[in-house]
C-alpha cells in the first residue's frame, strides 16, 4: 500500500487560500463600496467544503488499508534543520486525525454556511470569513501535523484566530479585553507545550521528531522525564482546552460572534488539548500518575464549571460553562487511559455543542442580540425549528439515551469505573446530573413559559433557512452520532473505538456486565433527577431569582477572576512598575546614556579636524600618503 500521498497538504491549504483571497478582497474594498455578501459567502464556503470532500477521501483511503498499517503521510518540504532537529512540513493522517478531520471540516463547513445568515449586514463581513477560514486552515494543520512542531504551528494559528475573532467586535473595549485575556492565558499554556516539546526532543528527539519515530522510541523514556513531559504538555492542554487553572478565558471568549463560539470555543479548537493528549497517548500510557492527574483535573473542572453553569443568566455563558464541563469529561476520559472514549466524546460533543450554540445564535438573532435568558421565554411557538433542534442538542448534552452524548459520556464514566477510579466516577455522575439540570433550566426558561419581554417576543421570528438547515443537519448528527460507537451491551460493535485503536495506545478495560449496568443506570438516574429538578423549578415559568449565599458565590464564579487578578496580575503590574521606577533609570539606562556620552565627547574631539575646507581634506590625504611613503621608502632599497 502506498502511504505517501500528495493530497493531504491541500486540506489545510484550501481554507488558507480562501482566507488570503477573502482578506485581500476585504482589505481592497473596505474603504470603498463593499462587495456583495454573496460573493464573500461563496468564496468562504468553497475551501471548507472541498476540504471536507478531501477528508472523506482520506477516510475511505484509510478504510481500504489493512488495519495495522492505516496511515498516510505527505512531506511537503524540509522546514528547518538544526543539529539533530530535522523538522519537515509533514502531514500525517491516521485513524485518529481522520476522525478529527471529518468532523472539523463538516462542522466547519456547516458553521460557515450558517454564518452567512448570522453575520449578514455586518460591515466586516469579509473580515469575519477571512478569519474563520484562517482558523479552519490552522485547525487542520494542527490535526494533520506529523510532528509536535507542525502541530504547534496549527496550535498557535488557532490561538491567534481565537484572539482575532473574540475581539471581532472591536469597537467595544470589553470584547478586546476578553480577546487579550484569551490570548495571554493561552500563552501560559503554550509555554508548557513548548517546554514539553523541548524535553521530549532532549530525551528521544535525536532519532526523528515526528510522531511515528517518537512512538517507536517512547519506551526508552525514563519515567521521570516521561512524567515531566506529560505534565508540561498537559499545561499546554489546560490552556487551550480551558481546564483548571486556566479555564477563565473561555467564558469571556463568548464576546465573539456566536458562530465563532460554536466553531472555535465549543466544537474544534478547545478540543485540541484532548486531541493532543490522545496523540501523545504513547507517552501517557506509560505514566499512570500523569493520567491520574489529568483525570482529576478534568473531572474537577467539570464539577466547577457545572456549578457555575447552574447560576448563569447569559445563554452563551451557560453554554460556555457546559463546554468547559464537557471538556473536563474528555480529560477525565483520556486521563483514565480511555483515549478512544475521550475522543469519541470530542466527536459527539462537537455535534451537539455546535448545535446548541448555533441554536442559541438563532435565538439571539431573533431577539435582536439579547443574550439574557431572563428576558426571553415562550419562544417555542415563535421558533419551532430552533426549539426542536435545540431540544435534541440539550438532550444529547444532558446525556439522555439514545442521544449522542449519552453514549460518549457513559463510555467515559464506565471506563473510570472499570479502571477503579471510583472517586472520578462518583463526581462524574454528579456532574451528569448537574448538566441535565442547567441545560434544561436554559431550555425551559428560554422556550417555555410566558414571554418575559413582550415587545422583544413580538418581534422574534424564525431564523432564515441558511441558518436552520445547518441546525437540522447538526441535530441529525447529535441524534445519531452515538450509534457509531454503540457498546456491546446494546448490541453494537464500538466501531469508533476500533477505528481509533491503531492510533492510540490503550487497553480496553474488561468489566462484568454488572459494572456496565451500574454505570448506565447511574447515568440515566442522574439525568432523570437533573431534568426533574429543572422542571420543578423552571418548567412552568419562573422569575429571575435573587441569588443568596452559595448561589451568589457561584454566580460570581467563586470570584476566581478577582483572585487571579489580585494574586497574579496586580503584583506583576506592581513589580513592573517598581522596576520601571527604580532599576530602569539607573541600571538599564545608565550604561546606555554613558555610551552615548562617550560618543558625544569623542565626536566633539574629532570635530576639530572637520574644518570644512576641501583642500584641508586633500591635505589629510596627502599627509597619509606621505607617512605611507616614508614607511615604504624603508623597504624599497
Partner 1 sequence: MIQSYLTVSVILFCLGIVGVISRRNVFTVFMSIELMLNAANLSFVALARLHESMDGHVLALMVMAVAAAEAALALAVVILLHKHKGKLDTNVFSLLKG
Partner 2 sequence: MFADGLFILFTVFAVVGAAGLVLFKHPMNGAMSFVVTLIALAGLYALLNAKLIFAIQLIVYAGAIMSLIIFIIMFLNIQEEDLPAEEGRFKYLIGGVIVVAPVGMLLTKAVNSLPGSEATIAGAGFGGVKEVGVKLFTEWLLPFEIVSILLLVSLVGAVVLAGKRGTNK
Chain residues that interact with partner 2, rule: CB under 8 A:
619, 622-623, 625-627, 629-630, 632-633, 636
**Consecutive H or E run containing 468:** helix 465-480
630 binds, among partner 1, partner 2, none (CB under 5 to 8 A by kind): partner 2
Backbone angles phi, psi at 76, to 5 degrees: -70, -50
Number of C-alpha atoms within 13 angstroms, CB side, residue 262? 29
606 binds, among partner 1, partner 2, none (CB under 5 to 8 A by kind): partner 1
Q: Which residues contact 270 (CB under 8 A, 6 or more apart)?
A: 240, 241, 242, 250, 264, 323, 327
Does 619 contact partner 1 by CB under 8 A? yes
3-state SS class at 357: helix
Q: Which residue number, 82 or 605, has a Cβ lying nearer to partner 1?
A: 605
Scan residues 548-567 and list those touching partner 1 (CB under 8 A).
none
**Shortest Cβ 141–partner 2 spacing (Å):** 57
Region binding partner 1 by CB under 8 A among candidate stretches 148-156, 163-171, 181-189, 606-614: 606-614
**Consecutive H or E run containing 338:** none
4 binds, among partner 2, partner 1, none (CB under 5 to 8 A by kind): none
**Shortest Cβ 618–partner 1 spacing (Å):** 5
First to last CA, the chain: 83
Does 600 contact partner 1 by CB under 8 A? no
Region binding partner 1 by CB under 8 A among candidate stretches 99-107, 213-221, 510-518, 607-615: 607-615
581 binds, among partner 2, partner 1, none (CB under 5 to 8 A by kind): none
Q: Which residue number, 216 or 618, has a Cβ lying nearer to partner 1?
A: 618
**Consecutive H or E run containing 72:** strand 72-82
**Consecutive H or E run containing 79:** strand 72-82
Q: Which residue number, 592 or 614, has a Cβ lying nearer to partner 1?
A: 614
Does 612 contact partner 1 by CB under 8 A? yes
**Shortest Cβ 610–partner 2 spacing (Å):** 19
**Shortest Cβ 636–partner 1 spacing (Å):** 14
**Shortest Cβ 628–partner 1 spacing (Å):** 14
**Shortest Cβ 130–partner 2 spacing (Å):** 53
Q: Distances in Å between the alpha carbon of 416 and those of 142, 295, 400, 506, 579?
A: 28, 9, 19, 14, 50
**Shortest Cβ 611–partner 2 spacing (Å):** 14
612 binds, among partner 1, partner 2, none (CB under 5 to 8 A by kind): partner 1
| Residue of the chain from 66, 592, 607, 633 that contacts partner 1 (CB under 8 A) | 607
Does 598 contact partner 1 by CB under 8 A? no
Does 629 contact partner 1 by CB under 8 A? no
3-state secondary structure 123-166: CCHHHHHHHHHHHHHHHHHHHHECCHHHHHHHHHHHHHHHHHHH
629 binds, among partner 1, partner 2, none (CB under 5 to 8 A by kind): partner 2
614 binds, among partner 2, partner 1, none (CB under 5 to 8 A by kind): partner 1
Does 513 contact partner 1 by CB under 8 A? no
d(CA 200, CA 196): 6
Handedness of CA 561, 563, 567, 571 (dihedral sign): positive
618 binds, among partner 1, partner 2, none (CB under 5 to 8 A by kind): partner 1
**Shortest Cβ 629–partner 2 spacing (Å):** 4
Q: Which residue number, 30 or 625, has a Cβ lying nearer to partner 1?
A: 625
DSSP alpha helix (H) spans, 505-565: 513-538, 549-555, 560-564
The count of chain residues that interact with partner 1, using the rule CB under 8 A, is 14
Region binding partner 1 by CB under 8 A among candidate stretches 105-113, 379-387, 395-403, 608-616: 608-616
| Residue of the chain from 615, 634, 635, 637 that contacts partner 1 (CB under 8 A) | 615
**Consecutive H or E run containing 585:** none
Cβ-contact 323, 266 below 8 angstroms: yes
**Shortest Cβ 616–partner 2 spacing (Å):** 11
**Shortest Cβ 593–partner 1 spacing (Å):** 23
Does 618 contact partner 1 by CB under 8 A? yes
Length of the chain as a residue count? 637
Q: Which residue number, 606 or 613, has a Cβ lying nearer to partner 2?
A: 613
Does 1 contact partner 1 by CB under 8 A? no
- Within 10 angstroms of residue 536's Cβ, the number of other Cβ atoms is 10
User: All 3 cell numbers of residue 540?
Assistant: 412552568
Cis amide bond preceding 458, omega within 30 = no
d(CA 25, CA 496): 41
Reported for 21-28, long-range contacts at CB under 8 A and 24+ positions apart, including other chains, are 22/126, 22/127, 22/129, 22/130, 22/133, 23/126, 23/127, 23/130, 23/134, 25/126, 26/124, 26/126, 26/127, 26/130
Does 613 contact partner 1 by CB under 8 A? yes
Does 614 contact partner 1 by CB under 8 A? yes
| Residue of the chain from 29, 207, 454, 610 that contacts partner 1 (CB under 8 A) | 610
**Shortest Cβ 607–partner 2 spacing (Å):** 23
**Shortest Cβ 619–partner 2 spacing (Å):** 7
Q: Which residues contact 313 (CB under 8 A, 6 or more apart)?
A: 372, 373, 374, 544
Q: Distances in Å between the alpha carbon of 325 and those of 266, 310, 439?
A: 11, 11, 12
Number of C-alpha atoms within 13 angstroms, CB side, residue 353? 34
513 binds, among partner 1, partner 2, none (CB under 5 to 8 A by kind): none
- Beta strands 85-93 and 72-82, pairing class: antiparallel
Does 588 contact partner 1 by CB under 8 A? no
Residues forming the site for partner 1 (CB under 8 A): 606-615, 617-619, 622
Amino acid at each position: 500500500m502506498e502511504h505517501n500521498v500528495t493530497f493531504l497538504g491541500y486540506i489545510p491549504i484550501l481554507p488558507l487560500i480562501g482566507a488570503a483571497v477573502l482578506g485581500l478582497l476585504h482589505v481592497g474594498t473596505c474603504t470603498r463600496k463593499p462587495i456583495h455578501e454573496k460573493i464573500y459567502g461563496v468564496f468562504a464556503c468553497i475551501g471548507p467544503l472541498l476540504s471536507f470532500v478531501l477528508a472523506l477521501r482520506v477516510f475511505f483511503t484509510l478504510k481500504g488499508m489493512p488495519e495495522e498499517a492505516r496511515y498516510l503521510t505527505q512531506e511537503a518540504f524540509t522546514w528547518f534543520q538544526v543539529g539533530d532537529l530535522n523538522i519537515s512540513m509533514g502531514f500525517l493522517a491516521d485513524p485518529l486525525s481522520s476522525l478529527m478531520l471529518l468532523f472539523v471540516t463538516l462542522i466547519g463547513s456547516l458553521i460557515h454556511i450558517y454564518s452567512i445568515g448570522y453575520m449578514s449586514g455586518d460591515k466586516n463581513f469579509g473580515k469575519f470569513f477571512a478569519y474563520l477560514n484562517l482558523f479552519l486552515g490552522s485547525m487542520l494543520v494542527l490535526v494533520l501535523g506529523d510532528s509536535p512542531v507542525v502541530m504547534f504551528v496549527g496550535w498557535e494559528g488557532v490561538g491567534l484566530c481565537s484572539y482575532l475573532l473574540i475581539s471581532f467586535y472591536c469597537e467595544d473595549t470589553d470584547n478586546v479585553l476578553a480577546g487579550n485575556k484569551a490570548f495571554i492565558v493561552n500563552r501560559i499554556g503554550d509555554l508548557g507545550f513548548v517546554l514539553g516539546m523541548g524535553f521530549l526532543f532532549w530525551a528521544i528527539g535525536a532519532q526523528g521528531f515526528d510522531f511515528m519515530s517518537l512512538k517507536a522510541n517512547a519506551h526508552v523514556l525514563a519515567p521521570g522525564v516521561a512524567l515531566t513531559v506529560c505534565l508540561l504538555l498537559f499545561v499546554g492542554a489546560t490552556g487551550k482546552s480551558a481546564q483548571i487553572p486556566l479555564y477563565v478565558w473561555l467564558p469571556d471568549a463568548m464576546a465573539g460572534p456566536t458562530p465563532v463560539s460554536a466553531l472555535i470555543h465549543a466544537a474544534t479548537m478547545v478540543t485540541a488539548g484532548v486531541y493532543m493528549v490522545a496523540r501523545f497517548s504513547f507517552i501517557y500510557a506509560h505514566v499512570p500518575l500523569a493520567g491520574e492527574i489529568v483525570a482529576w483535573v478534568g473531572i474537577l473542572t467539570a464539577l466547577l464549571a457545572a456549578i457555575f453553569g447552574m447560576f448563569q443568566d447569559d445563554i452563551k455563558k451557560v453554554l460556555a460553562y457546559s463546554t468547559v464541563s464537557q471538556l473536563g469529561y474528555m480529560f477525565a476520559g483520556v486521563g483514565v487511559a480511555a483515549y478512544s472514549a475521550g475522543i469519541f466524546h470530542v466527536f459527539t460533543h462537537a455535534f451537539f455543542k455546535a448545535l446548541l450554540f448555533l441554536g442559541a445564535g438563532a435565538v439571539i438573532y431573533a431577539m435582536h442580540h439579547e443574550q439574557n435568558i431572563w428576558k426571553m421565554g415562550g419562544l417555542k411557538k415563535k421558533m419551532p425549528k430552533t426549539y426542536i433542534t435545540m431540544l435534541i442538542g440539550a438532550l444529547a448534552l444532558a446525556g439522555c439515551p439514545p442521544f449522542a452524548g449519552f453514549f460518549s459520556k457513559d463510555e467515559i464514566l464506565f471506563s473510570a469505573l472499570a479502571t477503579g477510579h471510583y472517586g472520578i466516577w462518583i463526581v462524574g455522575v454528579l456532574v451528569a446530573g448537574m448538566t441535565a439540570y442547567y441545560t434544561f433550566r436554559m431550555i425551559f426558561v428560554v422556550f417555555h413559559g410566558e414571554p418575559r419581554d413582550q415587545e422583544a417576543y413580538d418581534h422574534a421570528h424564525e431564523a432564515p433557512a441558511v441558518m436552520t438547515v445547518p441546525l437540522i443537519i447538526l441535530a441529525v448528527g447529535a441524534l445519531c452520532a452515538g450509534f457509531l460507537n454503540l457498546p456491546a451491551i446494546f448490541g453494537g460493535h464500538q466501531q469508533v473505538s476500533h477505528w481509533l485503536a491503531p492510533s492510540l495506545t490503550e487497553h480496553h478495560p474488561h468489566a462484568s456486565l454488572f459494572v456496565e449496568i451500574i454505570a448506565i443506570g447511574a447515568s440515566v438516574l442522574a439525568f432523570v433527577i437533573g431534568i426533574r429538578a429543572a422542571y420543578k423549578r423552571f418548567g412552568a415559568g419562573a422569575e429571575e431569582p435573587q441569588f443568596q449565599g452559595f448561589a451568589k458565590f457561584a454566580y460570581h464564579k467563586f470570584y476566581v477572576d478577582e483572585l487571579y487578578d489580585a494574586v497574579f496580575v496586580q503584583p506583576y503590574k506592581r513589580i513592573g512598575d517598581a522596576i520601571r521606577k527604580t532599576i530602569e533609570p539607573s541600571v538599564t539606562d545608565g550604561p546606555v546614556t554613558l555610551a552615548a556620552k562617550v560618543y558625544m565627547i569623542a565626536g566633539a574631539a574629532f570635530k576639530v579636524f572637520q574644518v570644512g575646507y576641501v583642500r584641508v581634506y586633500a591635505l589629510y590625504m596627502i599627509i597619509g600618503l606621505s607617512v605611507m611613503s616614508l614607511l615604504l621608502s624603508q623597504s624599497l632599497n
